[in-house]
Amino acid sequence: MPDPSVSGLDGQLDRLSKIAGILLPLVLALVGGLYTYTKDQSDARNLRREERRDLAQVQYGNLTALIPLLTSQDQSNRLLAIEIFTSEAKKHEAPLDLIPSIERLGNEHPDHLKEAMAAVAAAQGQMQEEKSRNQSNSRRRKD
């Protein structure tokens, strides 16, 4: 005669096995989804950090290239520096620390005033773009 307690135990083990077979993939999918979400957030933060670092490096390179031209006694070099600054500002890569120097250069050399004011205007456009980008990034972090 078969033992009824053993068959009841086998039935419970069978049910538990089926439940585990259903729950295990769900738990793995949940953990995998959570890991992926966290990793994506981390990757996005790292990418934004790298972009800021790269921009800072480009701006520093532009700064070191423009200072000798801006301080030159040759008018054509100063004008070239202002034109390069304007071009870099339009690409949002100008070193904004040079704005006071550009303004002063335009005031001290009236023949460069028009170009200096155009450079300052382009730099202000760059500042506005950076300001709006920072605001959108801070909104993203809050979400």
Q: What is the pLDDT of residues 48-75, one digit of tens each?
A: 999 999 999 999 999 999 999 999 999 9
Q: What is the pLDDT of residues 15-33, one digit of tens each?
A: 999 998 999 999 999 999 9
Instruction: Report how far residue 131's alpha carbon sits from residue 143's, in angstroms, rounded to the nearest whole number.
Output: 19
Q: Does residue 80 surpass a pLDDT of 50?
A: yes
Average pLDDT over all residues of the chain = 89
Where would I find the H helices in 71-112?
A: 75-90, 99-108
Segment (H or E) for 58? helix 4-70
Q: Give me the percent of the chain exceeding a pLDDT of 70.
A: 91
Instruction: Report how far residue 26's alpha carbon sits from residue 115's, in angstroms, rounded to the nearest whole number.
Output: 65
Instruction: Report how far residue 71's alpha carbon sits from residue 65's, in angstroms, rounded to the nearest whole number.
Output: 11
Q: Does residue 81 surpass a pLDDT of 90?
A: yes
